[in-house]
Copies of this chain bind each other. A is one copy, B any other.
Amino acid sequence: MNQINHQVRLAARPDGAVKPTDWARTEEAVPAPAAGQIVVKVLYLSLDPAMRGWMNDSKASYIPPVGLGEVMRALAVGRVVASNNPGFTVGEHVTGLLGAQEYAVTDGAGLFKVDPRLAPLPVYLGTLGMPGLTGYFGLQDVGKPNAGDTVVVSGAAGAVGSVVGQVARIKGARVVGIAGGADKCRYLVEELGFDAAIDYKRENVAEALARHCPKGIDVFFDNVGGDILDAALTRLARGARVVICGAISQYNNTTPVKGPANYLSLLVQRATMTGIVVSDYYPRAGQAMMEMGGWIRAGKLKTREDIVHGLDKFPKAFDMLFSGANHGKLVLQVAAD
């Protein structure tokens, strides 16, 4: 193919926040696909908080760590540009773990075909991708909101949280979102139809939860951990369900994770805290994508992507996840389709 493949590799395991020197840029020729292989041109890369965990040398995770020197693991959407595999045709679009690079050579295992006529490609990395499925299944299968319940979601303006809140509304719940900054809070209430939003950067979260959840919190969907999780625990309603999806406030810690000091509220309120991992639900992904696709077309489920351009911006875009600088699902456009 005589193409150059630029790549971002894990050069060092970060201690705390990721530094520029933890990444290495490499380039190599794109090989011709062997029998059974395809070459996918990466168009959009997904930036997700979970990636920070994949960089740690942790034995006890749900997925092995990225090896030092390996291309950084990343979800992506791309287009098949060469195929030696009868299951894939040049020109088809696929999504999966293509990695932080311009071209992926793969046997196609774990890839799903996507249709750019049904939704713009970046949506397959957000609402119709891993984050959206996380919110859809985590809320419904574990949070189990009833009509009239009060659902609170942290990281509410993010790719997962915005789906959680909107699906909870569709199911008839009252929804309160916690996000950082007036812009995000306005977006939640005015554009996504949340009943209320709490700006954790300016408000006392515990007081605001008391005000917005006078009957307590029936479902707390947590993406952030730390002080916000602790504040929510103090406001649980009897029989509440706490869904542990992530803890972005703790991922860059150099000190031990801050455990939820108020966890004994689980006892007082006979409440449950349950962790979820989206891959458990992949067998039902097709059905979920169809339902969410219908909601998107009906205007009930809104998507928003924040698109950064160029693989060379990968480290900078990655940092945006942790500063909360992105508005909507953070996507890196690697190439035009």
Measuring CB to CB, which residues of chain A are less than 8 angstroms from any residue of chain B?
60-62, 225, 230, 234, 244-247, 250, 256-277, 280
Q: If A60-B234, A234-B60 touch, does A269 touch B262 (CB 8 Å cutoff)? A: no
- The main secondary structure of chain A at its interface with chain B is loop
Given contacts A247-B264, A257-B263, A270-B277, 5 further A-B contacts (CB under 8 A): A258-B261, A259-B260, A266-B273, A271-B274, A272-B275
| Docked-complex contact B234 and A263, CB < 8 angstroms | no
A50: nearest chain-B partner, CB-CB: B267
Closest 8 CB pairs of A and B: A259-B259, A267-B275, A266-B275, A259-B261, A259-B260, A272-B274, A273-B273, A257-B261
| Docked-complex contact A273 and B272, CB < 8 angstroms | yes
22 chain-A/chain-B pairs, Cβ below 8 angstroms: A60-B265, A61-B268, A244-B263, A244-B264, A245-B267, A257-B263, A258-B259, A258-B261, A259-B259, A260-B260, A263-B273, A264-B275, A265-B275, A266-B273, A267-B277, A268-B277, A269-B275, A270-B274, A270-B277, A272-B272, A272-B273, A273-B274
| Docked-complex contact A271 and B265, CB < 8 angstroms | no
Distance to closest chain B CB from A1 (angstroms): 40
Distance, CA A291 to CA B262, complexed state (A): 35
